[in-house]
Amino acid sequence: MKSTNLYKKRLLLFSGKGGVGKTTVSSAFALSCARRGEKTLLIELNVHDKVSSMFGAGRVGTEITEVEDNLWAVNITPEAALEEYAVMMLKVRIVYKAVFENRIMKSFLRAIPGLNELVMLGKAYYHVVEKENGKHVWDKIVVDAPATGHGLFLLKIPMVITSILSSGHMFEEAERIIEVLRDPEITALNLVTLAEEMPVNETIMLHNQTRDELKIPMGAVIANGVYEPLFSESEHEILNAAAKHVKEPSVLAMIDAANFRVMRTRLQAGYLKEIDREIPLPRHTLPFVFTPRMDFQSLLTLAEKLESEIEGGQS
Amino acid sequence: MNAQSKLAELVASKRVVVCVGSGGVGKTTTSAVIALHAAMQGRRVLVLTIDPAKRLANSLGIDALSNDVTRIPIEKFRDIGLEPKGELWAMMLDMKESFDHVVRRYAPAKERKAILENRIYQYFSTSLAGTQEYAAAERLYELYEEGNFDLIVLDTPPTTHALDFLEAPKRLEDAVDNKALYWLFKPGMLAGRTGLGVFSTGTAYVFKTLSKFTGAELLEEFSTFLKNFAVLFEGLKERSRRVRKLLTGPESTFVVVTAPEASSLEEALYFHKKLGDEEVQVGGFVINRVRTAWVDAEDARMPAVSVVHHLAESGHAVDHLSPEDLRDLAGKLLKNAQESAVLAEVDNNSIEVLRRAISRNTPIQRVPFFSTDIHSLRGLNLVRTSLFAEHTRTP
C-alpha cells in the first residue's frame, strides 16, 4: 500500500457522501495544519456556511477571513469568483461592470455550462499558485468539496472543457487547473466516509471513478464517527448472562444500551475491513464525538487525533 | 389523529408522494419504505429514484434497476415472511437517458439530431441549470398520465437549493428561452460572416469581450445548442405547467425527510417554508436515525455501587469477576448510558424546536437509529413498523 503523508501536499480536497461529516473533517484537518505552523486556507464551495460556528467565528463569506491563528477561511461563490476572475483578466473593474453586469450577459452567464464550476476551481487554483516575494502565500489549501455526485462533476469540469474546446481563456484556465489537480506532489483528494453500508459503497465508487476518470491523486480514506470499543467481548457475554437475572429495570436498560453499542461497533468493524479490502489507500480513523454540537474543543480533539493518525501511518 | 395514522392515510389516498430533503438523511430509504407500505396495503406502487448510487436496488434486494420500471419479485417478500396485497415496482432514472427522452419527444426531427449530437448537450444535458430535476418531473408526469400505478413515490436528488425540483422548469426556461440571447449569439455572427451592423456597438463589444473570455468556439457551440433547443420550448412550457399543477394539487403530497441533527433540521425547516411558499401540501416530516435514550438521565447518574449491587444479584454470571473488574464494568455501563442519554436529549431538543416551528396539523414521525444498517427489504420492513406501526399488524 502506498503511503501518503497528507502534510506533504499543498492542495487537500475532501469529498464523500452527503452527511458523513466532510465539513468537520476538512475543518479538523485544516486546524491541524494551522497548529503545525502552516498558513492554511480552508475553502467552502458555495454552501450555507458551516465552518464559522465550529470556530466560534463570524460568518465566513466570500472575503478571506481569519478564523484561528494561521487559519483563514473563505466561501467561494460562483458570482464572486467570476467577478474576481473577470476583473483579473480584463484588468479594469469598470470594463467588468460594463460587460458582465449587462442584463443580457448576466442571464447568459448563468446558463453557460461549466462556467460556475470552472471559476470556483479557478479561484482555488489561484490560491494554490499565488506567490508573494517568490514564496507561496499559502502553505496549505484545504477544500471542503461537494458531496460525491456533485463533487465528481465539479472536478470533472476542467477535463470536459479541454475536451470540448481547443483555445480561449476558459480552455487555458482549465488546462492549468488540470495540471495542478493531477500533480501528485501538490494535490491529494481524500475520501471521507462513515463505517456504514451506503457511505462505504459510495466511497468505493468515488475511489474507482477518481482513479479511472478524474485521474486525480488520492490521499487517504478518512473513516469518521467510529465508536471506540468500550466493552470487550467477554464483558459483553457477562452482561448478557447477567441480564437474565438482574431485576432492576434501569440496569437492564443499561445492558440494552451496551448491546446497542456493541452491535454498532461490530458493524463498523466489518465496514472498516471492507474499506481496507476495497480501497488501496491509507485509512485514518476519527472517533465518534459524544457532544451536543461540534464546537471548537471537539474539533481540536479531532484535529489532534487526525494528526497522530497521519503521522503514525508513516512508520 | 397521531402522526402514524396521518402518514398512513396519505399513503393510502394520494397518487404522488414526493420525498425531499438534503443529502445523507435517508431519503431513498424513506421513499422505499413508504412504497413498501403502500404495496403491503394493496396498492400498485412505483418508487422512482434519481439516485445514481444504486442504493435503492441495494435495499430492495435486487442487483440493479434500469431506466425502466422493474417489479420487485414476490419471492423477495416471501423470503422474509411478507405477503403484499399489492405490487411494488421500482425504477431508477438515468438522467442522460431521461433528458434525451425529453428531446426526442418535443423536438422536430431536424433539430432533434442536431441537439443530441451537440457536444455541449452531450456533456451537460444532465447538469445544465435544472435539467436533472426537470427530467425527473417530466418522467413522473408521464408515468402518472399512463395511469399504470395507484401511487408513485418520488425520491428527489439531494439539493442544497431547496426546491430546485419545483423551480426547475422555470430555471430551464430562464436559461434558454431568452430571445435576446438567441439573437445575440446567432451562429454565423460568431465567425463574423453576418453584419455586426444590426447590433449596437455596445453589444458587439460585450460579445467580443465575452468571447475572449470563453473562447469563440464555446460560444458558437453553445449558441447553436440554444438555437436548436429553443424549438423545444413551447412543448416544455405547456408540459411544465401541467407538472406543476399535479404537484401542487390535491393528488400530491410532499414528505420532508431529515436527520435529527440541528443542521439537518434547519434545512428541513427551510424546505418546509419554501414548499409553503409554493403552495405545496406538506404531508409530514420523517426524522430518521433518532437516537434512543435507553436510560433516562436521572437513572444514568445512579451511583456505580448500586449498579455493582444490581449486577451482583445475577449471581454466577458475574461471580468470577474480581471486585475491581465488576466496578470497572459498572462504570462502563454508566458511561455508555450517560452518553446515549446525552445524544437522545440533543435529538429531542432539536425535534422540539421543529415541532414549535410548524403547524400542529403537520405530523412528525420519528424513526429510531437501529442497531443494524437498513439496506435490505427486511431492513425496510423494520423501518416500516416504526413509520406505520399501528397499521402493520396483521388483523
pLDDT digits over A54-73, tens only? Answer: 888 888 888 999 999 999 99
- What is the structure's pLDDT at B225? 76
Residue A257 is inside which H or E element, if any? helix A249-278
- Tell me, letter by letter, the H, E, C secondary structure of A117-165: HHHHHHHHHHHHHCEECCEECCCEEEEECCCHHHHHHHHHHHHHHHHHC
- What is the structure's pLDDT at B202? 57
**Closest residue, chain A, to B321 (C-alpha):** A238
Contacts of A235 in chain B (CB under 8 A): 329, 332
| Nearest-CA distance B332 → chain A (Å) | 7
- What is the structure's pLDDT at B184? 54
Residues 98-157 of A with CB under 8 A from B: 98-99, 102, 104-105, 107-108, 110-115, 147-149, 153
Residues 12-51 of A with CB under 8 A from B: 17-20, 47-48, 50
Cross-chain Cβ contact A47/B259 below 8 Å: no
CB of A228 less than 8 A from some CB of B = no
| Nearest-CA distance A39 → chain B (Å) | 29
Query: pLDDT confidence of A315, banded at 50, 70, 90?
Result: very low
**CB B384 within 8 Å of CB B85:** no
Each domain of chain B, given as residue ranges in start order, spans: 6-175+235-291+369-388, 299-345
d(C-alpha A162, C-alpha A156), whole Å: 10
pLDDT digits over B232-261, tens only? Answer: 777 777 887 888 889 889 999 999 999 998
| Nearest-CA distance A88 → chain B (Å) | 11
| Nearest-CA distance A191 → chain B (Å) | 15
CB of B269 less than 8 A from some CB of A = no
- What is the structure's pLDDT at B163? 57
d(C-alpha B352, C-alpha A20), whole Å: 24
d(C-alpha B118, C-alpha B100), whole Å: 12
Query: pLDDT confidence of A235, banded at 50, 70, 90?
Result: very high
Cross-chain Cβ contact A253/B337 below 8 Å: yes
Cross-chain Cβ contact B22/A18 below 8 Å: yes
Q: What is the CA radius of gyration of chain B?
A: 27
Cross-chain Cβ contact B214/A111 below 8 Å: no
C-alpha distances in Å from residue B189, one per residue of A17, A192, A242, B169: 45, 48, 85, 29
Cross-chain Cβ contact A90/B221 below 8 Å: no
First to last CA, chain A: 13
**Closest residue, chain A, to B185 (C-alpha):** A108
Cross-chain Cβ contact B373/A241 below 8 Å: no
Contacts of B25 in chain A (CB under 8 A): 18-19
Given a cut of 80, whether residue A42 has pLDDT beyond it is yes
Greater confidence (B297 vs B157) lies with B297
Best B20, B294, B318 member to test A by mutation, with max A CBs in 10 Å, is B294
- What is the structure's pLDDT at B135? 78
Q: What is the mean pLDDT of residues B264-293?
A: 89
| Nearest-CA distance A168 → chain B (Å) | 4
CB of B323 less than 8 A from some CB of A = no
Q: What is the mean pLDDT of residues A39-51?
A: 86
What ranges in B18-156 are assigned the alpha helix state H? 27-40, 55-60, 74-78, 95-106, 109-117, 119-124, 131-146
- What is the structure's pLDDT at A82? 83
Chains A and B: how many Cβ contacts under 8 Å? Answer: 213
- Please report the sign of the dihedral spanned by the C-alpha atoms of residue B51, residue B56, residue B62, residue B68: negative
Ranking B216-220, B286-290, B350-354, B371-375 by mean pLDDT, the lowest is B216-220
Name, in order, each residue with C-beta under 8 angstroms of A154's C-beta and a sequence gap of 6 or more. Answer: A45, A117, A120, A121, A145, A146
Cross-chain Cβ contact A196/B373 below 8 Å: yes
d(C-alpha A157, C-alpha A165), whole Å: 12
Given a cut of 50, whether residue B188 has pLDDT beyond it is no
User: Cell for B151?
Assistant: 401511487
Best A51, A112, A247 member to test B by mutation, with max B CBs in 10 Å, is A112
DSSP, collapsed to helix, strand or coil, labels residue B117 as helix
Average pLDDT, chain A: 88
CB of B158 less than 8 A from some CB of A = yes
User: Cell for B388?
Assistant: 406505520
**CB B370 within 8 Å of CB A197:** no
CB of A227 less than 8 A from some CB of B = no
- Among the partner-chain residues A114, A258, A292, the one whose CB lies closest to the CB of B336 is A258
What ranges in B177-319 are assigned the alpha helix state H? 179-184, 201-214, 216-230, 233-248, 262-277, 304-312
d(C-alpha B200, C-alpha A25), whole Å: 52
Contacts of A231 in chain B (CB under 8 A): 332, 336
Cα-flanking dihedrals φ and ψ of residue A172, to 5°? -65, -40
| Most confidently modeled range among A8-22, A26-40, B221-235 | A26-40
Best A254, A266, A289, A293 member to test B by mutation, with max B CBs in 10 Å, is A254
DSSP, collapsed to helix, strand or coil, labels residue B280 as coil
**Closest residue, chain B, to A249 (C-alpha):** B295
Best B92, B333, B346, B374 member to test A by mutation, with max A CBs in 10 Å, is B333
pLDDT digits over A80-113, tens only? Answer: 888 887 777 666 666 667 666 666 666 666 667 6
DSSP assignment of A69-132: TTEEEEEE-HHHHHHHHHHHHHS-HHHHHHHHTSHHHHHHHHHSTTHHHHHHHHHHHHHHH-EE
- Among the partner-chain residues A102, A171, A259, the one whose CB lies closest to the CB of B215 is A171
| Nearest-CA distance B61 → chain A (Å) | 14
Q: What is the mean pLDDT of residues A223-246?
A: 93
Query: pLDDT confidence of B160, banded at 50, 70, 90?
Result: very low
Contacts of A148 in chain B (CB under 8 A): 53
**CB B190 within 8 Å of CB B220:** yes
**Closest residue, chain B, to A169 (C-alpha):** B213
Q: Sheet with A65-68: list strands edge to edge.
A: A65-68, A71-76, A40-45, A140-144, A11-15, A187-194, A218-226, A283-287
- Among the partner-chain residues A147, A231, A238, the one whose CB lies closest to the CB of B321 is A238
d(C-alpha B59, C-alpha B49), whole Å: 12
Could you say which DSSP state residue B197 is in? G
- Among the partner-chain residues A90, A168, A264, the one whose CB lies closest to the CB of B214 is A168
Contacts of A195 in chain B (CB under 8 A): none
**CB A160 within 8 Å of CB B125:** no
Query: pLDDT confidence of B196, banded at 50, 70, 90?
Result: very low
pLDDT digits over B130-147, tens only? Answer: 667 777 788 889 999 999
Cα-flanking dihedrals φ and ψ of residue B89, to 5°? -120, 155
Ranking A227-236, A305-314, B34-43, B250-259 by mean pLDDT, the lowest is A305-314
**CB B310 within 8 Å of CB A247:** yes
- What is the structure's pLDDT at B86? 97
CATH T-level topology, domain B6-175+235-291+369-388: Rossmann fold (3.40.50)
